[in-house]
Amino acid sequence: MREFIVEADGGSRGNPGPAGYGSVVVDAATGETLAERAEYIGVATNNVAEYRGLVAGLEAARDLDATARVRVRMDSKLVVEQMSGRWKIKHPDMKPLAARAAGVLPASQVTYEWIPRERNKHADRLANEAMDAGKRGEAWSPSASTAESTARSAAPAPTGPPGDAAAGAAKARAALAGTRAAAPREERGGPRDQPATGATSLSGGEAAEATAGEAPRQGRGELGDQPVAGGSRPAAPGGTPSSGGEAAIPAAGKADDDKRAARNVASDRTTTPAAGWSAPPDMGAPATFVLLRHGETPLTPQKRFSGSGGSDPSLSDAGREQAERVAAALAARGTIQAIVASPLARTRQTAGVVAARLGLDVVVEDGLRETDFGAWEGLTFGEVRERHPDDLNAWLASPEAEPTGGGESFAATAHRMAATRDKLIASYAGRTVLLVTHVTPIKTLVRLALGAPPESLFRMELSAASLSAVAYYADGNASVRLFNDTSHLR
């Protein structure tokens, strides 16, 4: 069965005002653009234009192959949530458009995904072309469209704070490409020697483990005694351990390190790959952060916003029991060398239980605090939706948006966590450290290590008193070793 990606967008210059939509159908297997649709629709709202773009994209996909699976991607959180059935459709203008979209293809063939605006540039450009044409009194012309070429040229190179996987992978691929171009032909190897797309410096054995997805499970030594799966070759001797290396190594030196790593990969792939979990010994032990979410508070089972700007609740009886269980599990593993905790009561209490069991002191680090959720503190998601719907929609749509009342955006949290990560890596190089913190800080550290987009925060489940782990190597690479392990609570 074929699979299409439909990207759709709509806009209104005035809301309501002169409006238009754009949509594009892409072959999911090849990335080829198969169809473009755009139209000026007169005076309308943004939401109406977005729904019109959705309908046009679905109809274009149906015309290509009525049996194909379709993944719809839009930067309108409203349309995605409503068409997914998670939000009710209350506006009378939206109901017939949603019904029309739902009737184009069987529901079993269509899925919906929200993407940030910068990843929807092709459809956005088509919508603007349609509005421009309408302003001139003309119809949009496919032959005159430059939307596809403009969107491709505008695609940004991966960037991010030191240690982010997206930026590191891009640099490694560029260095590797330059090395292979300069290498003698007999050293290059055949097609099977090429690195996997998007992977950074995987040796043969490590690549097999990463591809198989064999993340350590159920607490079998995964916190401090296993080398990285997917780690890069070592940087030059004498490099200062840091989260990403870029902050501590001069630019010229870092470029040389990237090229040296690429040469090592190219040469390693012509030899017998390392077996099992073996790793080069000269990179040194990583700084391993074992990430413990605090135990339950009275607000946890009620699913209320509980950040750093609220009532600072203490652990409940269930939360204290969870802390005791995780302390016993960590004592049995015997790998924790230091404990650092957020300053909030629930994390300090959880850390205190573990510290008493392990015979360690607790260091308080303000950078590990939870996000400040402003006026949403203590409210459920449903209550926030009723009281502050526009602010909530903006917050769901953009990591730059702040909660009502001047809370902290996810972008600000990410900036704070990157700085805290770098500080702790420098302080605990080569050691295994327990960080007792909260949902958003843990998800953010994992997101940054994986190079995942900001919206991935909404797609991770992190239970109270769960354990996760990330290892940070001296060459700037990170390896997520464990996520949301709750085996000790069962």
Catalytic residue among 39, 129, 370, 377: 370
Strand residue runs (E) in 213-314:
287-293
Distances (CA, A) of 357 to 73, 327, 383, 450: 49, 6, 40, 32
Amino acid occupying residue 323 = A
Question: Distance between CA 475 and CA 199 in Å, rounded?
Answer: 15
In the residue annotation, 7 being an active-site residue is answered as: no
Q: What does the DSSP assignment read for 130-146? A: HHHHHHTT----GGG--
338-341, strands of its sheet edge to edge: 362-364, 338-341, 432-437, 287-293, 467-472, 478-485
Q: Which of 49, 40, 44 is nearest to 14 (CA)?
A: 44
Determine which helix (DSSP H) or strand (DSSP E) holds 486, and give its type and residue range.
Answer: none
3-class secondary-structure state, position 150: helix
Write b or e for each residue in 279-315: b if 16 or more Cβ atoms lie within 10 A of its Cβ, otherwise e: beeebbbbbbbbbbbbbbbbbbeeebbbbbbbeebeb
Q: What is the Cβ-side half-sphere exposure of residue 383, based on CA atoms within 13 angstroms?
A: 10
Structure tokens at 79: 């349309």
Catalytic residue among 122, 294, 438, 488: 294
Distances (CA, A) of 176 to 193, 229, 467: 12, 19, 35
In the residue annotation, 415 being an active-site residue is answered as: no
According to DSSP, the residues that pair with 477 across neighbouring strands are: none
Name the residues annotated as catalytic.
Answer: 294, 370
